[in-house]
Amino acid sequence: MKKVYLVTLCTCLVVIALVSASVYFLRDEEKEITVGFVYVGDASTAYTSNFIDAQEAIKTKYGDQVKAIALNNVAEGTEREYLQQLVDAGCDLIFTTSYNYGTVTKEFAEKYPGIEFCMATCANANEEPVLKNYHTFMGKIYQGRYTAGVAAGMKMKELIKEGVITEQQAKIGYVAAYPYAEVISGYTAFLLGVRSVVPDAVMTVRYTNKWNDYRTEKKYAKDLIDEGCVIISQHSDTAGPATACEETAAGTPVYLVSYNQSMEDVAPTTYLTGCKINWEPYMMGAVDAVLNDRVIEKSIKGTVNGNDIGAGFEEDWVQMLELNEITAADGTVEKMQKVIRQFEQGKLDVFRGDYVGADPDDPDDTYDLNQGYTENEFASAPSFHYVLKDVIRIEE
């Protein structure tokens, strides 16, 4: 009799467990959330286009479970009214995607603790007040910048070997948006990648003071080409630099390294390669966490610092754009693959060498790179903000 009771009890427990599991999974399948996206641009700009790719991936995976509300071309300084629109629309999760949205986004997170706010490219998640529902995230893009610099260095080395330019003419021109740490860190990593192949390479930087200004970006790139720069790169959002390179007179050596988007269709004879942040791992993970009532930072693979998370090549957060085999130097693919493997294994220290950098806002604040600098050590957003003396010139 006892055996019968025991068997009956076990059977009941199994049935209860199965029913509970089915209810749990059914609940998750039926749960629906509304996700808001605040974009500084739209699909026509490379930076925002990469976020939209992640948004589309979310739609593909979750279908009707996730209702998306995307607000495009939100000028920095006007984000407050757009965030309020998303709150009023019942969003459970809101992604904001421009560094300068950070302060207001955090204010909204404090005001609306029932909504998760995820802020890209900012570094204020772990500053007081620390909020459970406010998160920051970004890919370790210096890895991609450095790798793209290696590809550019390979091309420079080829030009020198073929007698097209001399070692003294190994000049890089860089069209940059703002003198922010994110931008400075990126162009420094790029130059150090180039110098790992061509040690005498130097760089001239021009700031547009806008993220998205085709005419100015094109003009500055053309000016840099006229000054003798043979590699042009950018931290700006348009095809202006690519067009300037492609329109350069035949016989003038100049090659482009882009950011966020391949420019091979715009500059087929001058484009080399580029890099971008892949936002999908984070954004997909954040949506999954909200759907399943989990902590975001515990649901995504990466380097976690409090309410901030980032990753690089090792988690596919950083990707290289296609390499133009028509323009690239022989051996570039193999060289880039080797560099990427080193990053994945944590064996490549970028911000180190016989350089001294100075803070552009405070020349007395200097940093000796002989001691090394660990980028993204405490936050996913870049923090290196020192302009290297003698090898980087800021042109007004």
Given this model, what pLDDT does residue 135 score? 98
Quick one: average pLDDT of 117-122? 98
Reply yes or no on whether the pLDDT at 5 is more than 90.
no
- Contact status, residue 23 vs residue 17, Cβ threshold 8 Å: no
3 state SS of 138: strand
**Measured between alpha carbons, how far is 139 from 133 in angstroms, rounded to an integer?**
20
Given this model, what pLDDT does residue 18 score? 46
pLDDT band at 19 (very low <50, low <70, confident <90, very high): very low
Quick one: average pLDDT of 304-316? 98
Percent above pLDDT 70 for the chain: 93
Quick one: average pLDDT of 32-50? 96
Residue 205 is inside which H or E element, if any?
strand 202-207
Domain range list for the chain: 1-27, 31-139+279-315, 141-276+318-394
- Contact status, residue 277 vs residue 138, Cβ threshold 8 Å: yes
Reply yes or no on whether the pLDDT at 138 is more than 70.
yes
Reply yes or no on whether the pLDDT at 10 is more than 90.
no
pLDDT band at 6 (very low <50, low <70, confident <90, very high): very low
Report pLDDT digits (tens) over 193-204.
999 999 999 999
Quick one: average pLDDT of 124-131? 97
Give all strands (DSSP E) within 279-355, no chain letters: 303-305, 308-311, 318-320
Residues facing 84 on adjacent strands: none
Given this model, what pLDDT does residue 82 score? 98
- Contact status, residue 133 vs residue 92, Cβ threshold 8 Å: no
Reply yes or no on whether the pLDDT at 7 is more than 80.
no
Q: Selecting from 3.40.50.2300, 3.40.50.970, 1.10.3720.10, 3.30.980.20, what CATH number does the domain 31-139+279-315 have?
A: 3.40.50.2300
Quick one: average pLDDT of 190-219? 97
Going from the C-alpha of 147 to that of each of 69, 197, 270, 273, 279, the distances in angstroms are 35, 11, 18, 10, 19
Given this model, what pLDDT does residue 280 score? 98
Reply yes or no on whether the pLDDT at 2 is more than 50.
no
Given this model, what pLDDT does residue 23 score? 42
First to last CA, the chain: 93
**Measured between alpha carbons, how far is 217 from 351 in angstroms, rounded to an integer?**
27
pTM summary value:
0.92
Reply yes or no on whether the pLDDT at 27 is more than 80.
no
Topology (CATH level 3) of domain 141-276+318-394:
Rossmann fold (3.40.50)
Going from the C-alpha of 372 to that of each of 187, 305, 307, 354, 355, the distances in angstroms are 17, 21, 26, 10, 10
Chain-centroid distance of CA 191 in Å reads 18
Report pLDDT digits (tens) over 243-264.
999 999 999 999 999 999 999 9
Q: Do the first three CATH levels of 31-139+279-315 and 141-276+318-394 match, i.e. the same topology?
A: yes
Given this model, what pLDDT does residue 1 score? 43
Which residues, 6+ apart, have CB-to-CB distance to 4 below 8 Å? none
Given this model, what pLDDT does residue 30 score? 74
Which residues, 6+ apart, have CB-to-CB distance to 127 below 8 Å? none
Reply yes or no on whether the pLDDT at 13 is more than 90.
no
Quick one: average pLDDT of 318-339? 98
Given this model, what pLDDT does residue 29 score? 57
Give all strands (DSSP E) within 312-370, no chain letters: 318-320, 356-359, 362-368
Mean pLDDT of the chain: 93
